[in-house]
Amino acid sequence: MAPFAGDIGLNVSRSLARGPGPRRLDLSARIADIGDLRVYGALEDIDATGLTVAPAFDDRAAEGDLVRLPDWSAWRGPTLTVGQPGALFLLAPTSSPPSASPSPAPAGSTTGATLSETWRLIRRLQPATSRR
């Protein structure tokens, strides 16, 4: 799919996890819809104008880090489609070395920016956490 500008709606559900030790509240986020979602309300609205969204592909990456995109043609993790996990990266392009070749866009990429190999992680969206 070619890059496009649009919205991504996430649904976060809560469940009480029981087992040994104290009970905990688990949060799980999934992509609910992609497209023009202006008519829907949200608990949080993030303006990601000028940024690119990608599935969270590196568990160690922190906000502000420079990251390299994976080879999307060989990618076996989550994608940007309805029903997939809501762990996402908001990325800003950086200048790539002249010898670097562009990487193919991830399915559902939401910007028309030229894809370079190196990106700055602006924000990590990962609402799937446990709370006691």
pLDDT for res 73? 86
Q: Which domain holds residue 68?
A: 7-131
pTM of the shown model? 0.73
The Cα 77–Cα 59 span in angstroms is 12
pLDDT for res 115? 54
pLDDT for res 103? 45
Structural domain includes residue 2: no
Tokens 């002249």 appear where? 98
Structural domain includes residue 13: yes
For the chain, which residues score pLDDT lower than 70?
A: 1, 95-116, 128-132
pLDDT for res 28? 85
On average, the pLDDT of the chain sits at 80
Structural domain includes residue 1: no
Locate 18 and state its tokens.
Answer: 């029981």
Q: Report angle CA 12, 118, 28 to the nearest 5 degrees.
A: 10
pLDDT for res 96? 52
Tell me how many domains the chain contains: 1
